[in-house]
Chain A
Amino acid sequence: MNAADFAYLADLLKRRAGFHLSPNKTHLATSRLAPVARRYGFRKTDELFAELRDAPEDLARAVTDAMMINESSFFRDKSCFDHFRGVILPSLLSARAASRRLRIWCAAASTGQEAYSLAMILDEAKIAKDWRIDLIASDISGFAIARAVEGRYSQYEVQRGLPAQTLVRYFAQDGDQWRISERIRRMVNFRTFNLLDSYGWLGEVDVIYCRNAFLYFEPLAKRACLKAFASVLAPDGYLALGASETMEGASTAFVPDDASVRGVYRKARHAIRPIALAS
């Protein structure tokens, strides 16, 4: 891949996904784009780039999709999920006792492991039947979401992070693949969504999980997303980022929930809009 094509790719990813492609990633780009080129009938990636500059939407989407990092695992960073089970969920169940409604959004759901981890915790919590719980999971990558909906994982993927008891309770073995139970699958609503697009479809949510996506974001895109998160998150809601991600220089709307659990935030007092009183 030549320098001009690589620069074009970096710009495309920045515009479309707020994604920061570091300059040393030429090799990664070549290996990720070769299958896309083949799928579209190009013999080489430079032919793909010539076509891409004419900006057909579906090709640009396929290229963006192929460049995303879909690394995920069940209960990744265990402490964050322990915190959900032990603190976030009980506090929201009590705060929402009147409406009996809870809305949780996995904003960078990748291939589904994180959303299903939350779904299994919700299932184990045996929340009374008259609660309405929306578990929404989105990702920019249509490929990742298609896999998530399918709910099939390799033995390598289920080995990572899943306790054996949880595996035998919620998964059925199918050859060397493991499929998550229909009941858990039905708890999650998956959709493709670019975090830079409009959040109008979403409505207010009580919990946002957006873990390890901002690691690859341009600073401005991260700032814009956190601003949007603050506007859709309930005043007493929770936001979970990856353990190594911080708010530094990106947002003042959130404060750490518990110093011992990295990555979990609540809204800062000044970011909570006063409730308009009916006159």
Chain B
Amino acid sequence: MKHCLVVDESRVIRKVVCHLLEEMKFYAEEAAESASALETCRAQMPDVVLVNLGNAGNMELVRAIRRNASAKRPVIIGTMTEHDVGHIREALSAGADDYVLKPFDGDSLKEKFAQTGLM
């Protein structure tokens, strides 16, 4: 079972996304902010981190995960509300593999996971 960490300050979004992930047969964990997310990553690096990049502080989380010398390189997918090329570029240079626009449903999440080789 693949392990996904959902990082978003909204409890409702975390709940909805974790539910989608469980339907996709992923083991889903959640974190409300980057410090606890990083702790989870240090304890056990997930296969995929789905992180809200609408929150500027989370860009630093992406960099911190990439600096971590763990043997496992997780797929990092940013979630965004604004479709902006500058923001996408920033996410990619911080180390994100891809992004998905909010709000998203199970189908677009599956599509993105398939595209990044997770499914």
Contact = CB atoms under 8 A, between A and B. Distances in A.
B115 A167 contact: no
Contacts of A171: 85
A164 B92 contact: yes
Contacts of B25: none
Nearest to B98: A164
A155 B101 contact: yes
A160 B91 CA distance: 18
B111 A164 contact: no
B89 A161 contact: no
A96 interface: no
Contacts, number: 35
A78, A164, A168: which has the most chain B beta carbons within 10 Å? A164
Contacts of A161: 111, 115
Interface in A154-187: 155, 159-161, 163-165, 167-168, 171-173, 176
Nearest to A164: B98
B22 interface: no
A96 B115 CA distance: 31
B108 A163 contact: no
Rank and list the top 4 A-B pairs by shortest CB-CB distance, nearest first. Answer: A173-B85, A155-B83, A164-B98, A164-B99
B114 interface: yes
Contacts of B108: 159-160
B37 to A, nearest CB: 21
